[in-house]
Amino acid sequence: MDSELIRVIAFLVGIIAFAALNAAYLVWLERKGAAHIQRRIGPKEVGPFGLLQPMVDGIKLMTKQILIPDGVDPVLFRLAPILAMVPAIMSFVTIPFSETLVARNINVGLLMIFAFASVNVLALLLGGWASNNKYAVISAARAVSQNIAYEIPMLITVITMVMITGTLNLNEIVAQQPNISQWYIFRFSASPLMPVAFLIFFICSLAETNRAPFDLGEAESELVAGFHTEYSSMGFGLFFMGEYANIVIGCSLAVVLFLGGWQDPFGLYPGVWWFLLKLYLLIFTVIWIRWTFPRTQFYGLLNLSWKILIPVSMFNLLLTAGFLKVF
Amino acid sequence: MGAYFKEIFTGFWSLLVGMSITIREMTKPVVTEQYPYEASVMTSRFRGHIELVPNEEGGNKCIVCGMCMRSCPSACITVEGEKREGIKGKALTRYRLDFTRCSLCGMCVESCRPGAIRFSKDYNLAGTKKAAYIFDLLKRLEEQNK
Amino acid sequence: MRNMDFTKLKEQLRPLAILEDVVVGEPPEEDTGSEARVAPEPEKLAAMHEPDYLARGFNLDVRVEAGKVVEAAGILDEHGFFLEAVTGVDWPQEGQLEVVYDYCLWQPQCRVVVRTRLDRQSPVVPTISTICPGANWHERETHDFFGIEFSGHPDLRPLLLPDDADFHPLLKDFKAHG
Amino acid sequence: MDNAATNNQETFVLNVGPQHPATHGVLRLKLTLDGEYVVRAEPVLGYIHRMHEKMGENRTWAQFMPNTGRMDYLSALSYNHGYAAAVERAMGITVPERAEYLRVITVELNRISSHLVWFGAYLLDLGGFTPLLYAFDDREKILNLLESVTGSRLTYCYFRFGGVYNDIDENFVDGVKEFIKTMRRSLPMYHNLVSKNIILLKRLKDIGPISRETIRKYGATGPVARGSGVDYDVRKNEPYSVYPEFDFEVPVYHEGDSMARYMVRMDEIEQSMRIIEQALDKLPAGPVMAAKTPRIIKPPKGDYYQAVEAARGSFGVRIVSDGTNTAYRLKLRSPSFSNLSLFSAVSEGMLLADALALLGSLDLVIPEIDR
C-alpha cells in the first residue's frame, strides 16, 4: 500500500514535470523549427542554442500582472485556464511510456483520454465567453463547432481501432504491435485503409488541439488572439501550456494506436526511447505542418470533416467490420 | 464522384509538395544577418544624415551661401557664418542639422556648389531625447579631426 | 483624340458646356483650333476644349454649369468612362471654387476633364455618387478639404479629417503651420 | 454602438482596427456582423492623413519630391515617377533616354519588391507565415540593388525633373541579372508552395468576386481591375516613359475573385522581369540628366495631368500651376483609395475570414489612401 502511494506521488510529480517541460521545450522546438524552415536561426541568446529561453519566458510570464478586465465573469475567467491545463495533465496518467512506465494502467484508458480531451474545448468556450470580448466570443464559437465536427471522425476511427484490438487498455494495444509489420498503421489484414485511418486520426488531433492549419480559434490575423485575447501572465501561459500538452497527448495516442508505442520496429530493444522518438517525430511533423500551410477557412474546415473525413472513416469502419467477420 | 476523389488526391498531393519544399528550405543555410555581431557594409551611396566634407587641412569647405538651408524641404538646416580676415566670403561658425525632421532627400547635397556636405554612413544612431538628434556638424567635424 | 472618333461623345457633351467669351482672331490660351472652326458663333463658344494631349495629359476639357455635372457624368458613364478623381481648386480672387472631375476610359485612351465653378461663399453642387458610387469617397474628401457641399450625397461626414474638423485645409486662406 | 445594431439583437459591431493585424497599418473597419457574416462594412480612414496636397502648395516643386516617396512606401519610385513626369510634362522637359531606361528598370524592380511584400503579407493574413520570410529574402536582394543606386532602401527620392539623381554603378547590371536568375527559381517555388496549395485555393477561389461593372463604377485600377477581366494598364493603354519600346504582356484574369487578383500580381512579377531584362539589354549610353533643365522650376499657367501605373494601380498627378515656383494645386490620385472604396459594397454577406481575405487581396497601403 505504501509503495503504491509513493508510486502515485512520484508519477504525479513526474507527469506534471513532463507536461510542463514538454510545453516549455516544445515552444523552443517550435521556434527553432520555424526559424530554420524560414532560414533564420531563432532563439540563440539565452544559453547554448537558446536552450534557456523557455525558462526565461516562463519567469517573464510569471512575473507579469494578471489583468482582469472590466465586465468579465470573474470566476469563469480565472477558471478557464486551469480547465485547459488540468485535463491535459490527467490524460497523461494512462499513457504507456514503456511497458512499466505508466502511472495507471487503466482498462478503459482510451475512453478516459477522450473523456478528458472533450473537457478541453469547454475551457476554450468558457475562456472566450467569460472574456467579454467580441473576438474571444467568435473564437469560442468557432472552437466549439470545430471540435464537434472533428470529434466524430476521430471517435469513429478509434472505434475501428477498438474493434480490431478488442481492448481499451493502451498498454495491451501496444503489446499487440511487437514489430513494424505488426504496427496497426501497416496492419493491412485488419483493413486495407489503415494508413488512411492513421491520417484521419492525425488530422483530427490537429483540429482537436486547434493547431495550424486548423487554428481558427486563434486566427491572429482575424481575431487578434482568439479566446485568449484578454488573458495575460500565467492565465495566457496555462492556455499556452495546455495547447502543447494536448499536442503531446494527441501524438502519444497516435503513436500508441498506430505506431507501436514503446515497441522497437525490429522487435529488438523495446523501451521508452522508442516511444519518445516516435512521439517527437510526430510532434515535429505537427510543427512542420504549421509552418508550411496557410489557415483553412471555416467552411473548408467543416467540409473537410463532414464531406471527407466522416464518410471515409465510416467506410473504414464498415470495411473493418467486414474484414473481422470474414477473416 | 470522380471529381471528388480527384480533388482529394490533388489536394493531398499539393500539401505533400508544400511540405517537401519547407523541409528542403530547412536544410539550406540561414540567410539572416546576426546584426550586433555582424553588420553589412553600407553601400557607397548610402544616405545617412549629412556631414561636412573635410578639406586638406581638416577644415570645412562651406562658403555659407545658404543654398542648403533654402533647398531643404523640411527646414532642418541652419547655417551661421561670420566675416573673417583673409577668407573670401564667410567662414562657417555653426552648422545645425535637425535630424528629427530630415527626410534624407539629398536636396542640400545637390544644391551645394562647393561640395561642402555629403551623406555620412551613420545608420545606427540611437537616443532617448530629441536633442540627441540636433547635430552641430561643425563640431562633429572638429571632433573627427582629433 | 487618337485612335477613335469621339464625335458622338463630343456632340452629347457640347450642349452641357457653358458659353464663354472668346475674342475672335486672337487664339485663346487653350488650343481650341478645331472647335473654333466649326463653332457657329465665334464670340460665344462652348467651353469645350481639346488640348494637346502630350502637353496637358488629357484629351477633352469641358466646363459646365454646376447643375449639369450629373448629366455629364451620366453621358460619360454611358460611354464606359470611369471616374478617376474628384477634386477642387480654390480661386479666391475670383471668389470661386472649382470642382474638377477626372474621367478616364479603359480603351481606347481618353481622358475627359469636367469642371464647374461654384460661388466661394456657398459652394453647392449636386452629387454624382448616384451614377458613380465611387464618387462617394472622392466627394467626401473634397468636402473635407474645400467645404464644398455635395447636395444629395448620402453621407458627408469627414473622411480623411477628424470627425470634429471645422476647417478646410486646402482653401487658400487656411494657413498651414510648420 | 450603431443604431442598426441596437435595434436588431442579432447583429453586433466589430471594430477591426485601427490597430489590427489584418489591416496592415492604421485602417479601421467598422463591421456590422450577424454571427460571422458581414452585414455592413464601413472603412474609416484618415488615421495617418498628412495633407500632402497642402504641403505641395507650401514648398517648391523640387522640394515636394521626397513627399511622393512617402505616400506609398512600398513602390515609392512609381510615385516619384508620376510626379516627375507630371512636372516634366508641364515644363516641356525631355528626359534623356538613358535616364528613362534607368527609371523603368528601378520602377519595375520596385514593383517586384512591392508585390513580394504583398505576397508575404497576404499569406500572413491567411495564416501562412513562412512564405513571408521567403518573399522578404528575395525582396532584400532588390533593396540592396536599389540602395546601391539610390542610397536608400524604402522611401526613395531618386528621380529629378529631367532625369535621375545619379547614374548606376558598375555592379548594378550584373546584380540585377543575378537577381532575375534567382527570382526565376523562386517563382516556381512560390507557386508550388502556395499557389497550388489546396488550402489556399479553397480560401481564395470564388471569394470576393468583383464584377467588371463594379470595377468601373468605383474607378478601381491596377491588379484589382485586371483580376476582374479589365485589360487596363497605364503602361499599355496610355504609354509613358519608354514603356512602348518593351515587349511585355498585361496579365488579365476574368474570374474576379481573390485568386485572380493573386495570380495577376504573381504574373506581373514575371512580366516586370521581362521588362527589366529588355531594358538592361537596350540600355543606351548618355547623360542621366537633361542638359537644358532650368534651375528654377516654374511651369507655365494651366493644369496638367499625368498617370502612371504604380504597383497598386493608376496613380495620377493633377497639377494646377499659376506660373510660380510652388504648385497652386496638387492633386494626388491614389489607386488604393478607389480600390478600397468598393470594399463595403463587395464584402456584404461575406464571412469575416473571407472579407479579410478580400481586404488583403486589394493590396492596401494605408499612407497612400490617407495621403
Average pLDDT across chain C, whole number: 79
Which residues, other chains included, contact D44 with Cβ-Cβ below 8 Å and sequence gap of 6+? D17, D18, D27, D28, D29, D30
C19-47 tens-digit pLDDT: 776 655 544 455 544 544 544 445 667 77
Quick one: pLDDT at residue B135? 83
Is the model's pLDDT at C5 over the cut of 70?
no
The H helix count followed by the E strand count for chain D is: 16, 8
| Chain D residues inside the 8 Å CB shell of A215 | 127
- Are D70 and B106 a contacting pair at CB < 8 A? no
At residue C169, does pLDDT exceed 70?
yes
Chain D residues whose CB is inside 8 A of the A296 CB are 199, 202-203
Bridge partner list, D34: D11, D37
Over residues D66-89, the pLDDT tens digits come to 888 888 888 889 998 999 999 888
How many helices (H) and strands (E) would you count in chain B?
4, 5
**What local confidence, expressed as pLDDT, does residue C25 receive?**
52
Q: Which of B26, B42, B103 to mutate to test the interface with D (most CBs of D within 10 A)?
A: B103
CB-CB neighbors (< 8 A) of B29 in chain A: 39
Physical contact, D and B (3 or more Cβ pairs within 8 A): yes
CATH 3.40.1360.10 fits C7-22+43-151, yes or no: no
Each domain of chain D, given as residue ranges in start order, spans 2-369
Residues of A with CB under 8 A from a CB of D: 34, 37-40, 134-135, 138, 142, 212-213, 215-216, 219-222, 224, 291-300
pLDDT digits (tens, 9 = 90+) for A152-169: 888 899 888 888 888 888
Cβ-contact A160, A234 below 8 angstroms? no
pLDDT (tens, 9 = 90+) of chain D, 371 residues, equals 444 444 556 788 888 878 787 777 788 888 888 878 888 888 888 888 888 888 888 888 888 888 888 888 888 899 989 999 998 888 888 888 888 899 999 999 999 999 999 998 898 888 888 888 899 989 989 998 888 888 888 888 888 888 888 888 888 889 999 999 999 988 999 998 888 888 888 888 888 888 888 898 888 898 999 988 888 888 888 888 888 888 888 899 988 888 999 999 999 999 999 999 999 888 888 888 887 777 778 888 888 888 898 888 889 899 998 888 888 888 988 898 888 888 888 888 888 888 888 888 888 888 888 88
Nearest to D9 by CA among D29, D34, D30: D34
Q: Which of B53-67, C76-90, D283-297 has maximum average pLDDT? A: C76-90
pLDDT category of residue A139 using cuts at 50, 70 and 90: confident
A291 contacts on B by Cβ (under 8 Å): 22
Residue found under cell 486566427 = A219
**How far, in Å, CA of A138 to CA of C104, rounded?**
43
Question: Do C58 and D305 lie within an 8 Å CB cutoff?
Answer: yes
**8 A C-beta contact, residue D312 and residue D72:** yes
State the first-to-last Cα distance of chain A, in angstroms, to the nearest integer. 45
Q: Which residues of A touch D126 (CB under 8 A)?
A: 221, 294-295
Query: What's the CA gap between D317 and D331, in Å, rounded?
Result: 6
- pLDDT, average across residues A135-146: 86
**Touching, A vs C (3+ Cβ pairs under 8 A):** no
Read off the pTM.
Answer: 0.88
Query: Which residue in this structure is represented by grid cell 450625397?
Result: C153
**What is the per-residue pLDDT across A96-135, written as a single tens digit (0 to 9) for each?**
887 777 777 788 888 888 888 888 888 888 888 888 888 8
ipTM value for the complex: 0.84
D166/chain C closest Cα distance in angstroms: 27
Q: What's the length of chain A?
A: 327
Based on the number of CB atoms within 10 Å of its own CB, is C23 exposed (0-12), middle (13-18) or buried (19 or more)?
exposed
Q: What residue ranges do the domains of chain A occupy? A: 3-326
Q: What's the pLDDT tens digit per position in A311-327?
A: 888 888 888 888 887 77
Q: Which class is D2-369 in CATH?
A: mainly alpha
A189 burial class (0-12, 13-18, 19+ CB within 10 angstroms)?
Answer: exposed
Task: Show the cell assigned to A327.
Answer: 477473416
Q: What angle, rounded to 10 degrees, do the helices at A134-165 and A109-130 form?
A: 170
Contact A183, D97 (CB under 8 A): no
Q: What is the mean pLDDT of chain D?
A: 86
Contact B94, B79 (CB under 8 A): yes
Rounded to whole angstroms, how far apart are CA atoms D234 and D314? 7
Beta carbons of D129 and A34 less than 8 Å apart: yes
Q: What percent of chain C has pLDDT over 70?
A: 81
